[in-house]
A and B are shown apart, each in its own frame.
Chain A
Amino acid sequence: GAVVSQHPSRVICKSGTSVKIECRSLDFQATTMFWYRQFPKQSLMLMATSNEGSKATYEQGVEKDKFLINHASLTLSTLTVTSAHPEDSSFYICSARDTAYSGNTIYFGEGSWLTVV
């Protein structure tokens, strides 16, 4: 089946620094990827839609200057949390749609735990 890889799986950073999380579709091309945030034992909150070769579309209430998204190729999207604060600590999950396959399934990465200290 389709595989989506996220890296790193866990990262700890200091307040005020920036951290980048990568999302890769390993065996398919994805013109569209999605970034979610999940708090412990809660549902997924869509942050933004990442579009290859164009600007990301952010959901209401999500700061685009804080959560920078870049989708430079058909297999890679990155989320950069800038000037991180402890309240940014969360589980971030990406998902991707197989562009070539019209089966409508969205595949998810394994997630990345961010802890800001």
Chain B
Amino acid sequence: AQSVAQPEDQVNVAEGNPLTVKCTYSVSGNPYLFWYVQYPNRGLQFLLKYITGDNLVKGSYGFEAEFNKSQTSFHLKKPSALVSDSALYFCAVRDGSDYKLSFGAGTTVTVRA
């Protein structure tokens, strides 16, 4: 079985400050980890993924995430948040055997001007 936990329902930051959205995972095999962003009434947009290789993954819109195997974490980060980053963020995981994604509950990010 595979699962994802996003411990924070909401994250609030001021524009220009660093943004971190936390994610921990549980998977039986090798984890394939993803971050998606969802704007109101829209589908999910892919931000970045970790499959193998370098633990620090860089993605779209200045986001990055660090894979930490010992802590089973894959936190999303952005050095300087923008108001336009305000959205709902989902962490997702699958193991290598199929393509079903398990999603976290989501974290609402609000960036204030």
Chain A interface residues toward B at CB < 8 A: 1, 4, 6, 32, 34, 41-44, 46, 49, 91, 93, 95, 97, 104-111, 113
Contact = CB atoms under 8 A, between A and B. Distances in A.
Contacts, number: 55
Interface of B: 32, 34, 36, 41-46, 49, 51, 88, 90, 99-106, 108
The secondary structure that dominates the A interface is: strand
A108 B43 contact: yes
A43 B43 contact: no
B43 A111 contact: yes
A93 to B, nearest CB: 6
Contact of A97 (B43, B51, B99, B108): B99
B45 A108 contact: yes
